Amino acid sequence: MEVPDVKVPHWLAYEARLFEPLAVEEVIEEEQVERELEQPVVQPARCRWKCQVDASWKSTTKGVGVGFVLLDDDRVIMVGLRNYTRAASPLQVEAEGLSWAMKELLHRDFKDVRFESDCQQLV
C-alpha cells in the first residue's frame, strides 16, 4: 500500500516533536519492566523446620514476653515462652525473642530451620 505524500502544518510538526521523547521513555520503561518480570523469582530455601517468633511489649507494664513455635509442616513440635524485665523498645524485645529462639533450637540440634517474624523492622 502506498502512503500519500501529505503536507503537515509547521505547528503540528513542532507539537509532534515535543511528544517524541516522552514516547521513547515509555517504551524504555515497558521494556525494563518486561525484563524485570522475566528474571526468576528467588524463593526462600526449603527447610524442614519452621519457627515462628513473636513478642509482647507494652509501654505501661514492667514485663515483656516472647515466644516461639517450632513447626514441621503444620505440626507443632515445640513451644517456647519466656518473660523478660522491661525492655527499651518493641524492636529490642522482638530481637531478644528471635535470638533466644535461635539459641534454644541450636542447643537442641535443630539446624535446618527457617525463622519467621511479624516484625518488619527486624526482618
Predicted confidence at residue 42, as pLDDT, reads 60
Does 62 reside within a domain? yes
In the chain, what percentage of residues exceed pLDDT 90?
34
Does 93 reside within a domain? yes
Predicted confidence at residue 120, as pLDDT, reads 86
Does 122 reside within a domain? no
- Find the CATH number of the domain harbouring 104: 3.30.420.10
How far apart, in whole angstroms, are the C-alpha atoms of residue 46 and residue 98? 19
Does 18 reside within a domain? no
Report the amino acid identity of residue 27. Answer: V
Average pLDDT, integer, range 95-104: 93
Mean pLDDT (the chain) is: 76
Does 10 reside within a domain? no
Residues 38-83: tens digit of each pLDDT:
666 666 667 789 999 999 887 777 788 999 999 998 899 999 999 8
Does 29 reside within a domain? no
Residue whose C-alpha cell is 525494563: 32
* Rg of the chain (C-alpha set): 29
Say whether pLDDT at 15 is over 60.
Answer: no
Domain hosting 108: range is 49-117
Does 123 reside within a domain? no
Does 44 reside within a domain? no
Domain count, the chain: 1
